[in-house]
Amino acid sequence: MSTMWQEIRFKVLHSGSRLNLFIGINVAVSLVLAVFYIVESLATNNTQLQQTVFLGLQLPSYLPVLAKHFWAPFTYLFLHDGILTLIFNMLWLYWMGQIIEDYLGGKRLTVIYIMGGLAGALTYILAFNFIPAFTNAHYNSFIIGAPACVSAVIIAAATLLPDFAIFIIFFEIRLKWLAAVYVFINILNLNGPHAATGFAQLGASILGFVFIKQLQRGNDWGKPFEKLFQPRSKLKVVVKNSGKTAGNRPRQEEIDRILDKISQTGYDNLSKQEKETLFRASSDDKS
């Protein structure tokens, strides 16, 4: 049991994968709330406290309540409505998140996940405060945000690789058609009992689509957040200006990139050329 726990802990916290980290956070939050629910139910024969805590983490659309729950746009990003919702959301996040992380890196996956959730929150709040059909319902309206975050990742992956095919049961389907069906279902939900979630997922989907399109045009919306999401490397190479010719000395930008790679995937995953570059920089520093 301890070995399994150590393996899970390594994959979530020390593997360098942002995808594993997000899945771990989502599962951990759901497990804590589930244990809270079970303990309170057995001890008091009700779940009022658990429901109060869960409601306090959700995102309200009523602005006076939102002002008091100022943390909600971030805590709602990791909430799920039941175990089945958690399982399906995490499966989609794993499948689509792998594509984003493999092709664009963990930092951009982080930006898409969080910005997608925030875009979904904004869409939901605007819709329930300004669309007449919902203004009478927004006083008691709350939503959970993990489905919105997953929506952003799904649409981003489909926009990045529209002709990439996956197998669902016995059928092969391209991501562009999967995304089209997904968005169509969200649009149908805008005028039903799941309108709140539909607006959040639609807003997040738009964010995922636009993010990739802008990235393909050379505009990286995640650039301002790189330092925020970048773990600090414990290994530091200082290149002194000793007056020698710097013709063979690696550039500081190249050194920083290699150190960043070490912090994410470990020294053993460096290429031979990268190891030589780092060795050269260390040798110059000693001299």
- Rounded to whole angstroms, the Cα distance separating 200 from 229 reads 24
24 contacts 93 by C-beta, under 8 angstroms: no
72 contacts 118 by C-beta, under 8 angstroms: no
How far, in whole angstroms, is CA 45 from its chain's centroid? Answer: 36
- Rounded to whole angstroms, the Cα distance separating 250 from 280 reads 7
pLDDT at 47: 86
Q: At what angle do helices 175-188 and 146-160 cross, to 10 degrees?
A: 140
Burial class of residue 151, CB neighbours in 10 A (0-12, 13-18, 19+): buried
C-alpha neighbours within 13 Å on the C-beta side of residue 230? 15
Q: Encoding tokens for residue 251? A: 């550039």
pLDDT at 185: 93
129 contacts 140 by C-beta, under 8 angstroms: no
pLDDT at 259: 72
Burial class of residue 186, CB neighbours in 10 A (0-12, 13-18, 19+): buried
- Rounded to whole angstroms, the Cα distance separating 17 from 253 reads 23
Sequence-ordered list of residues with C-beta below 8 angstroms from that of 278, at least 6 positions apart, any chain: 237, 250, 255, 258, 270
pLDDT at 196: 94
- Rounded to whole angstroms, the Cα distance separating 172 from 2 reads 39
142 contacts 50 by C-beta, under 8 angstroms: no
Instruction: Please name the amino acid found at residue 30.
Output: S
Structural domains of the chain, ranges and CATH numbers in brackets:
2-225 (1.20.1540.10), 234-286 (no CATH)
Dihedral, 171, 175, 176, 182 alpha carbons, nearest 10: 80
Mapping DSSP onto H, E and C, the string for 122-144 reads HHHHHHHHHCCCCCCCHHHCEEC
| pTM of this structure | 0.78
Q: What is the pLDDT along the chain (287 residues), one digit of tens a residue?
A: 567 777 888 888 878 899 999 999 999 999 999 999 999 999 988 888 888 999 999 999 999 999 999 999 999 999 998 899 999 999 999 999 999 999 999 999 999 999 999 999 999 999 999 999 888 877 889 999 999 999 999 999 999 999 998 887 778 899 999 999 999 999 999 988 889 999 999 999 999 999 999 999 989 888 877 666 565 555 555 544 444 444 456 677 777 777 777 666 766 666 777 777 776 766 555 44
pLDDT at 205: 97
Q: Assign residue 240 a region: left if phi > 0, alpha if psi is -120 to 50, beta otherwise?
A: beta
Q: At what angle do helices 48-57 and 18-44 cross, to 10 degrees?
A: 150
